[in-house]
Amino acid sequence: MRAQISAAAKWLLGPEIPAPGRPGHLWPRWIFLRALGLIYFSAFYSLVFQIKGLLGPTGILPAEDFLKAVAASLHSERFWFAPSILWLGSSDRALMILCLVGMIASLLIVLNVWPRANLAICFVCFVSFVSVAQDFSGYQSDGMLLEAGFVSLFFAPPGIWPGLAAEHPASRASLYLLRWEWFRIYFESGVSKWTSGDLSWHNFTAMDQYYQNGPLPTWIGWYAQHLPHWFQASTVALTLAVELFLVWMLFLPRPFRIVCFFIVTPFEIGIILTANYAFLNYIVLSLGFLLLDDQFIESILPLRLRKLTSQFLSREEIPSGHPPPETVSPLAVSSGHDLSAEQAGFSRAANAAERERGEQSLVGPGFSHDVNRSEGGTALAAEARVPDGQAISSSRSHLPNWRHALAPIAMAVSGLCFALVFYVTTAKLLEELSPGIPLPQSPITLIEPLRIAQDYHLFGTMTPNRLEIEFQGTLDGVHWIPYEFRYKPQALNKPPGIYAPYQPRFEWNLWFASLDSWQQNRFVFSTEERLLKNDPDVLELFAGNPFSNQPPIRVRTLLYQYWFTDMQTKRRTGLWWRRQLLGEYAPELTREPNGAIEIFSVPSIPSAPSSGDSP
């Protein structure tokens, strides 16, 4: 029994060896990791321009104050509740270093330089930000990126310049968990739409106002909003069909997965073009490439491009004194093509040297492994060079011995991580399908601070209207001047832009705040205070400062309802929007002559009720 369990563990946690009729996933992995690097870069790049105003010492919600409150409440548990390297310091300089290090590491991932190490750096930096960002984090897109980034630590190949890493295929477990995330994003969102009680999903009207009422619309969404109702109803049907039914093609044979890819990819591109959801849809789009395999990708690559990329991506650092080995296309392995005598002889020599040393092959994510005949008739063809640049003589290098010795530990660690992520995500899915089901909660509580096993409920309830908060200031109490936003709808003649994957977290969060009361969104109140002081970092979150010469004496927030104009109005006036004032949103603040900030008045109208799920 133990032998069977051990064999099953090695099969699941060991490398996925290509064979005839069972293509590998080297190309999908390469494409996905480059995309993940770009997504990480977009996340850190957008923070460079915002993080001081959001979390700096004089920002809206200072990270330093948050960490002090956590330390006072949780003491020794504080580091796990808020896992962040910002415990070492949360000054403006520390926040900027965090972003810059994340940007550099993400670019190195894109360039395929030491991907595992740089993925670890990006994960640590991003979870450090999310853990202290308070109201400016916790979006479902943040959880998607952290989950994909964590699993990719095991999915990525080892080495400083791994190329396509044909000698280090990913483990089946890591590939499955990334596909599992892709599946859950769709399926859980579909379940929440159908079970939320929002009748618009049942009567096919959910898309009638969707393009207008999302966080940051695009100009393409403006035109999509004016398409006839049959089109909007059809997109509702398509959304439910994709999320509830088509995604199950993941578990069918490879032809079905390829068909599924060509259905969901245009679906995601359509969402990207008609709404700004930061990097959310880019993550889902990138995960979709894992539905493909080497055989399909190489079959659509032109022969010249295939040869060029194979030569470039197959370059490895070879120990001095050894000739560079020949490489084999993943397609050749997948389709059962024979190796040349020279290639096979090189591989046999390497395997013979291994047998002379009496070493048995140990497989584990992140460590060298050998592929021998016992793993299938075409296993010899899978690796036509010395694994990881290993010298044939063991006296040349001791690195493989260390890797062999640590392989069981690596397998145990990766197995534990995979088991935790899979259990927690599966438990959350089962709880959604069957509320009240008795499941152990301790694993869920244990890894919750890392946000690597979330549940996803995208737009289970549709937002019924578009509300916008506007900050205004005055020097005399009579003439009020608005603070202009960079991205949100405000000026009626300004067309909605396309900004994703860039995420303006301050403006993004104002959309959620408009759907609830100011008491539940204290960051709005804090922003008013900072504007009264003309804080430069907070003002950087706006398009400009209308009070550059002297700070205002009072600041208020107004609540508007916005609508798209119709086609005729836009042609006649050039206006993209129309709006109606609903009243004040949060208390109006005033700055006394002695510099003290006081409440001048409290709004007399209630804020709009909460509606909609966080994208």
Where exactly are the structural domains of the chain? 324-405, 466-601
Three-state SS at 610: coil
pLDDT band at 371 (very low <50, low <70, confident <90, very high): very low
pLDDT above 80: residue 609? no
Q: Is pLDDT of 412 > 60? A: yes
| Pick from 114, 26, 16, 14: nearest CA to 314 | 26
CA 259 to chain centre: 24
In the chain, pLDDT over 70 holds for what percent of residues? 83
Is the CA virtual torsion 199, 202, 204, 209 positive or negative?
Answer: positive
Question: Among 229-233, 287-291, 346-350, 605-609, which stretch is predicted with the lowest mean pLDDT?
Answer: 346-350
Task: Give Cα separations from 162 to 123, 283, 312 (angstroms).
Answer: 20, 23, 11
The average pLDDT across 231-246 equals 97
Give the three-class secondary structure for 466: strand
For the chain, how many helices (H) and strands (E)?
25, 6
394 band by pLDDT with thresholds 50, 70 and 90: very low
Q: What would the pLDDT profile of 195-205 be if each residue is shown by its tens digit?
A: 999 999 999 99
260-266 average pLDDT score? 97
pLDDT at 319: 39
Q: Is the model's pLDDT at 391 over the cut of 50?
A: no
pLDDT reported for residue 314: 60
- Assess whether pLDDT exceeds 50 at residue 271: yes
Residue 296's pLDDT is: 95
Nearest to 479 by CA among 538, 531, 543, 556: 556
Q: Residues of the chain with pLDDT > 90: what percent?
A: 74
Which of 108-117, 171-180, 219-228, 339-348 is predicted least confidently?
339-348
Q: What is the mean pLDDT of residues 446-473?
A: 95
Residues 6+ apart with CB under 8 A from 239: 190, 193, 206, 207
pLDDT for 274: 96
Task: Specify the pLDDT at position 75.
Answer: 87
Element (H, E) at 102: helix 92-110
Residue 279 structure tokens: 């990097």
- Mean pLDDT over 334-338 rounds to 44
**More confident call, 401 vs 95:** 95
pLDDT of residue 325: 43
DSSP of 23-42: ---HHHHHHHHHHHHHHHHH
The chain-wide mean pLDDT, for the chain, equals: 86
Q: What amino acid is encoded at 531 in this protein? A: L
What pLDDT was estimated at residue 17? 86
Q: What one-character-per-residue DSSP string does 437-455 give?
A: -----HHHHHHGGGT-S--
More confident residue, 507 or 411: 507
**pLDDT at residue 453 in the model:** 96
Whether the predicted pLDDT of 502 surpasses 50: yes
Looking at residue 313, its pLDDT comes to: 64
Quick one: pLDDT at residue 605? 59
Q: If pLDDT is split at 50, 70 and 90, which confidence band does 367 have? A: very low
pLDDT class for 356, splitting at 50, 70, 90? very low
* Nearest of 330, 291, 372, 378 to residue 20 by alpha carbon: 378
- The pTM for the full model equals 0.86
| Amino acid symbol at 517 | S
The phi and psi torsions of 168 (rounded to 5 degrees) equal: -130, 65
Q: Is the model's pLDDT at 471 over the cut of 70?
A: yes
The reported pLDDT for the residue numbered 21 is 79
Query: What is residue 7's predicted lDDT score, i.e. its pLDDT?
Result: 83
Flag whether pLDDT at 475 surpasses 60: yes
Residues 6+ apart with CB under 8 A from 523: 60, 61, 134, 135, 136, 509, 513
